[in-house]
Amino acid sequence: MSYIKDYIKENRERFFEELFGLIRIPSISSEASHKSDMIKCAEHWKYLLKQAGADKAEVMHTKGNPIVYGEKIIDPSKPTVIVYGHYDVMPVDPIELWKTEPFEPVIKEGKIWARGADDDKGQSFMHAKAFELMVKTKTLPCNVKFMLEGEEEIGSPSLTEWCAEQKDLLKGDVILVSDTGMIASDIPSITTGLRGLAYWEVEVTGPDHDLHSGIFGGAVANPINVLCKMIADLHDENGKITIPGFYDDVLVVSDEERQLLAGKPFNEEDYKKAIDVKALKGEKGFTTCERTGIRPCLDVCGIWGGYTGEGSKTVLPSKAFAKISTRLVPNQDHKKIAQLFKEYFEKVAPEYVKVEVRPLHGGQGYVCPIDLPAYKAAEKAYVEVFGKRPIPVRSGGSIPIISRFEEVLGIKSILMGFGLESDAIHSPNENYPVENFLKGIETIPLFYKYFAEMK
């Protein structure tokens, strides 16, 4: 679309200047000394939204850092896009490794160098400028709502409650987020899945005190041996988790999506080399990318018991412990799984030990179906800008707030991330390629266009 390219060309220098103004506010959410910067940054975003064309913009109070809300309602009957982003950034330590000042952005070698250049000031600001573009060129086809939080890097402690309180305000059709990455500058991708999590601590008690391993060894069950056996039995010979009902709710991924996922460039030799293992291991019948993307897994994150010091003390210990986590895939409910595991693990405990399972933590997974109209719209937008169909990527990790949006607001998110792995987010010398920044501003209006047409 030539009007998009033209507008970007004419205004790009100003876009940079405005982004730099946002970046210069050191809004580090984890450091109390930056409290006033959080307010300053929120106020600045309010100004940016108004300047870009919002009818209304305000800084809204929470128990933590404020949330910036802005909107432009062109017609209540038209679809509404909610843009989510965050204005807080990570600390800058170790400061001595930075080649430039973290809060004084510069453009060098085709990249913007600064803390927040990508995560998430650069990426969220693309949405402000794409919005401005649509307003100024009179091409905005949807209502728009912005919601920018200042606590993403510290786990979004206020946002869920705020969303629940603002359900009316946050009515909309899709949440649009640019806070993830793409495979490469020339390989566009959309993150379509995030895994959920359930985490337990288990305690196995054998005898009520440590025993002499000579006097009792062989006649009394050793809780470490028992725990090892119980953990070993959690997987079968095909790498499947043996907890009855564990896979019941796992969303089966269509052959089409599996084929698309397979398009993600992946070199197994490089992958193994990077972590120095001779062979990979996982669930039979699935590729490495599928094992981390579309399938759940179970890992022991920690284990301890008995004598762990130097040398060779003999003991038949009273207790053994483990921290066990599962990564869950969309449609698996972490609360249900937490209960399922607890009941199962306690039930299968042999009579010669006592087993206690304590659920510690959990979060839902997330999936964006690739036949969702919003996904189709994003796909079309990418094809137009990059000349290639984007690859739907299932990330093995978790972004808890995305699944919580769905739980609280009932709205799906589209994760149009334009970052690259080389952007060094959370690290010294964070950067964001100018090309990705501008391509993002180019792609976003096309998403609005196709999304409006499909609704």
Active site members: 88, 152
Query: Distance between CA atoms of 11 and 99, rounded to whole angstroms?
Result: 28
| Contact between 411 and 209 (Cβ < 8 Å) | no
CA-nearest of 127, 239, 251 to 193 is 251
With contact defined as beta carbons under 8 Å apart, do 395 and 193 qualify?
Answer: yes
Indicate whether 266 belongs to the interface with a second copy (CB under 8 A): no
Position 258 contacts a second copy (CB under 8 A)? no
Judged by beta carbon, residue 105 or residue 330, the one nearer a second copy is 330
Number of amino acids touching a second copy (CB under 8 A): 80
Query: Scanning residues 169 to 198, which ones bind a second copy (CB under 8 A)?
Result: 195, 197
Q: Pick the closer one to a second copy by CB: 52 or 198.
A: 198
Q: Indicate which single residue of 227, 340, 357, 368 sits in contact with a second copy (rule: CB under 8 A).
A: 227
Mention every residue, 6+ apart, whose C-beta is less than 8 A from residue 57.
45, 46, 47, 49, 50, 68, 69, 70, 71, 146
**Which is nearer to a second copy, 44 or 195 (by Cβ)?**
195
Name the minimum Å distance from CB 274 to a second copy: 9
- Number of Cβ atoms within 10 Å of the Cβ of 290: 17
Interface with a second copy, residue 207, by CB under 8 A: yes
| Residue 32 interacts with a second copy (CB under 8 A): yes or no | no
Counting Cα atoms < 13 Å in the Cβ hemisphere of 177 gives 26
In the complex, what is the shortest distance from the CB of residue 129 to a second copy, in angstroms, rounded to a whole number? 31
The whole-angstrom separation of Cα 95 and Cα 153 is 18
CB nearer to a second copy: pick between 252 and 454: 252
Please list every residue from 381 through 440 that binds a second copy, using CB under 8 A: 395-398
250 lies in the binding site for a second copy (CB under 8 A): no
Binder of a second copy out of 53, 91, 263, 282 (CB under 8 A): 282
Decide: is 449 part of the binding site for a second copy (CB under 8 A): no
- The span from the CA of 328 to the CA of 281, in Å, is 18
Q: Give residues 285-304 in contact with a second copy (rule: CB under 8 A).
A: 288-289, 291-292, 295-304
The side-by-side arrangement of strands in the sheet containing 106-108 is: 106-108, 111-113, 431-433
Contact call for residues 381 and 447 (beta carbons, < 8 A)? yes
Measured from the CB atom, is 1 or 303 closer to a second copy? 303
Q: Categorise residue 412: left if φ over 0, alpha if ψ from -120 to 50, beta otherwise.
A: beta
- Chain positions 332 to 371 lying near a second copy, rule: CB under 8 A, are 350-353, 360-361
